[in-house]
Amino acid sequence: MSRVLLKCLVVALCVSQHRLFAVAGPDVEDGSDDSASTLAFVFDVTGSMYDDLKQVIDGASRILEKTLSRRTRPIKNFLLVPFHDPDIGPVSITTDPEKFQQDLQELFVQGGGDCPEMSVGAIKKALEVSLPGSFIYVFTDARAKDYRLKRDVLQLVQLRQSQVVFVLTGDCGDRSHPGYRVYEEIAATSSGQIFHLDKQQVNEVLKWVEETVQAMKVHLLSSNHDGAQENKWDLPLDPSLREVTISLSGPTPQIELSDPLGRIVGEAQGLTELLNIPNSARVVNLKFPRPGTWKLKVSCSGRHTLRVTGVSNLDFRAGFSSVPVSEFNHTRERPIKGLPAHVMLKCTGLKPPGQLNLLELMSSSGRSLRTMPIQPSSGLQQHGLWRLPEFRTPSQSFFIRVTGKDDEGYRFQRLSSVSYTNVIPGKTTFFQQDTSSDLEHTLLHTSSVCRVNFNLCFFPRVDPPLVSMPDVVNGFYMQPVMIRCSIESPIPYRLRFTRDGVAVGEEKLYQNSALASWEIDHASAEDEGLYECVAQSKAGQGRALTQLTIREPPPVLKPAVNVTSSVGAVAVLSCKVEGSVRHNLTWYRAGRAIGAHTGRSKVLPDSSLQISGVQIQDAGEYHCVATNAHGDSRIIVWLHVPEAPSVVIHPQSRVFSRGEEIRFVCSASGSPPPQLFWSHGNTVAH
């Protein structure tokens, strides 16, 4: 019989705390602003979205780190639009990625139960303030309550050429409802998609977003299908394509890709899976594909959408006019219904002797509606411009696909980033012919047909500009405020802003629909008043009014500073408001407010919280909340109370026979939590 004394050694390890969202700006060159866009998150802040919000906060850090590390940076600013029936906002827009992450962390979900939400109005707000060609991601678990705003949003999508992607963790259970179908229409028009996920899968989509927020993103293929089917596509890939991404959203998605030699491409050949949710979506990516015609086969067991995009400097933009024009800035974003259409194409990244050969109007299902050859235009081609002869546009929405050959003779294919619909004009009107330059300019942009022999011009009547502004604009004292005005007009107009009847700024000329604004750098009570936006065209005048009110801003708390205190000492937790904004400040512990003098706790005159005779149970998080009539701000301050390790071993001794199995239990407590090690004599046991 032998007797052994075992010692339990405890090592307390202090773990340093790191900021969760620290994103270091890499030492790379800034990309050009020519392709700079907005990264926008439109987020539903009802109570049921708590899990989604946590994942979005985590994923945002990775997305920003990835985009900021690229040599050509696709993102110029960041936009956050929270919504919760009946409110939208407050909208946050910043060029500072750390501020964007802070805004996300400060979101808090609340309420719930009302399934339809004000999501379309929030998307509209995001489109209004974001840059053209932006990436907009909508996170919600409900269908739209304000789906009647669909027309405004679709027009803004076509104006902004931005992509809207929906990440849905619910839909109120009825996908035939107009409040859900509006999501499908917005996604289809903007070349976006809808992803249906479980709550825990949001993080997977965000990993895909990391890879797809790219500068020089081009569109190659888009199709939408209402039912289960298998489709095969020829996909010409040219040498300028640095990578290609295939995204299929729908039940049981299957993707098969074959190279120009007919070989199926898999992981061994460089095909990377970015997203795989078995009953919802699959996304794959291929870097530097071999030039040539590839074969793509996809299938789904229900309603589905397919998007194929690439990264390339070879792309095009399309502009419409009703008569031939020689400059791209004389075109507009949409054709006019019932009038002959002329299309001008502006191609970038195509080196001589590269050529555009064919233009096709494509349906939303990827079917060709009409094919037209593209002829070289003398004097235009050297500026990257191609012009097509007059044709009639279809009544349904359509994409534009162009095909050509690059300078090495490789075939390339590009698709417009959004689908197009016709502007619907008013009734037909007769005007006496006028040879003034202003009227000629107006006729040019409405494609009149002049009957010179009868001294008459005949063309569809165009309505006066449609001008809209919010009823009220709220600004904060000594902070920037922007008064926005939306104008819809297919013909040129002059725009001016007035305040209480007096003009502010200079009158400006616009060629077609636009979003204009009047900005005040440091707003004060003197800037309050009635502002009017007035647009004057040859068709008439449109105007809208808004009331600007300036109020005290909500309080902003300085960043939290955590405190470490020993047992028995006095701890002081600091909470300070920036500036001199009036506010009320309250400390909370475990959801309960701490009074001005409660037990060992006392709120000091400078709003700090003092805790006397600190005990182990005082450790943990304390919430500081500053509020006033216009909002609130909150931080979390941690109190750390180190506790020496305490060890208990059972049994303390044991008699045993050789070969017998024995067991000892060692438990320890302390702060920070200690790590346990066993030793026998001078040897550490593993």
Predicted confidence at residue 378, as pLDDT, reads: 66
The whole-number average pLDDT for the span 21-40 is 48
Question: For 441-454, what is each residue's pLDDT tens digit?
Answer: 333 333 333 333 33
Predicted confidence at residue 93, as pLDDT, reads: 92
Q: Which CATH number fits domain 36-213: 3.40.1350.10, 3.40.50.410, 3.40.920.10, 2.60.120.260?
A: 3.40.50.410
Could you give the percent of the chain with pLDDT greater than 90? 39
Flag whether pLDDT at 434 surpasses 70: no
The whole-number average pLDDT for the span 57-64 is 75
Average pLDDT for the chain: 82
Contact 309, 213 (CB under 8 A): no
| 189-193, 294-298, 409-413, 678-682, range with the lowest pLDDT | 678-682
Predicted confidence at residue 113, as pLDDT, reads: 55
> Domain locations in the chain?
36-213, 314-415, 466-551, 556-643, 646-685
Q: Which residue has the tokens 């500072």?
A: 96
Q: Give the end-to-end CA distance of the chain in Å, rounded to a whole number.
A: 25
3-class secondary-structure state, position 214: coil
Contact 487, 540 (CB under 8 A): no
Flag whether pLDDT at 32 surpasses 70: no
| Integer Cα distance of 517 and 526 in angstroms | 19
Residue 97: φ, ψ to 5°: -65, -35
In terms of Cβ atoms closer than 10 Å to its own Cβ (0-12, 13-18, 19+), residue 504 is: middle
Predicted confidence at residue 653, as pLDDT, reads: 81
Predicted confidence at residue 208, as pLDDT, reads: 76
Question: For 234-250, what is each residue's pLDDT tens digit?
Answer: 999 999 999 999 999 98
The whole-number average pLDDT for the span 25-53 is 67
Buried b (16+ CB within 10 A) or exposed e, 228-250: eeeeebebbbbbbbebbbbbbbb
Predicted confidence at residue 176, as pLDDT, reads: 82
The whole-number average pLDDT for the span 419-444 is 49
Q: How far is CA 104 from CA 41, 57, 210, 561, 627, in A?
A: 9, 6, 17, 20, 19
Predicted confidence at residue 114, as pLDDT, reads: 61
Concatenating the DSSP letter of every residue in 566-605 gives -TTS-EEE---BSTT---EEEEEETTEEEPSEETTEEE-T
Question: For 67-88, what is each residue's pLDDT tens digit?
Answer: 777 666 678 899 999 998 788 9
The whole-number average pLDDT for the span 174-197 is 89
Predicted confidence at residue 430, as pLDDT, reads: 35
Question: For 138-165, what is each residue's pLDDT tens digit?
Answer: 988 889 989 889 989 998 999 889 999 9
Residue type (1 letter), 249:
S
Domain formed by 466-551, architecture: Sandwich (2.60)
Question: For 598-608, what is each residue's pLDDT tens digit?
Answer: 889 999 988 89
The whole-number average pLDDT for the span 526-552 is 90
Could you give the percent of the chain with pLDDT greater than 70? 88
Contact 13, 672 (CB under 8 A): yes
Question: For 189-235, what is each residue's pLDDT tens digit?
Answer: 998 999 888 777 777 777 777 777 766 889 999 999 988 889 999 99
The whole-number average pLDDT for the span 46-65 is 78
Who wins on pLDDT, 460 or 341?
Answer: 341
Flag whether pLDDT at 279 surpasses 70: yes
Q: Return the CATH number of the domain spanning residue range 556-643.
A: 2.60.40.10
The whole-number average pLDDT for the span 170-178 is 82
Residue whose C-alpha is closest to residue 400's, from 377, 429, 425, 371: 371
Predicted confidence at residue 23, as pLDDT, reads: 29
314-415 and 466-551 in the same fold: yes
Question: For 645-678, what is each residue's pLDDT tens digit?
Answer: 888 888 888 888 888 888 888 888 777 778 887 8
Residue whose C-alpha is closest to residue 326's, from 303, 346, 299: 346
Question: For 469-504, what is each residue's pLDDT tens digit?
Answer: 888 898 888 889 999 999 988 899 999 999 988 899
Concatenating the DSSP letter of every residue in 172-200 gives TT-TTSHHHHHHHHHHHHTT--EEE--GG
According to DSSP, residue 150 is labeled H
Query: pLDDT-based confidence at 30, cuts 50/70/90?
Result: very low
3-class secondary-structure state, position 325: coil
Contact 195, 201 (CB under 8 A): no
Query: pLDDT-based confidence at 35, cuts 50/70/90?
Result: low
Task: Domain 314-415: state its class.
Answer: mainly beta
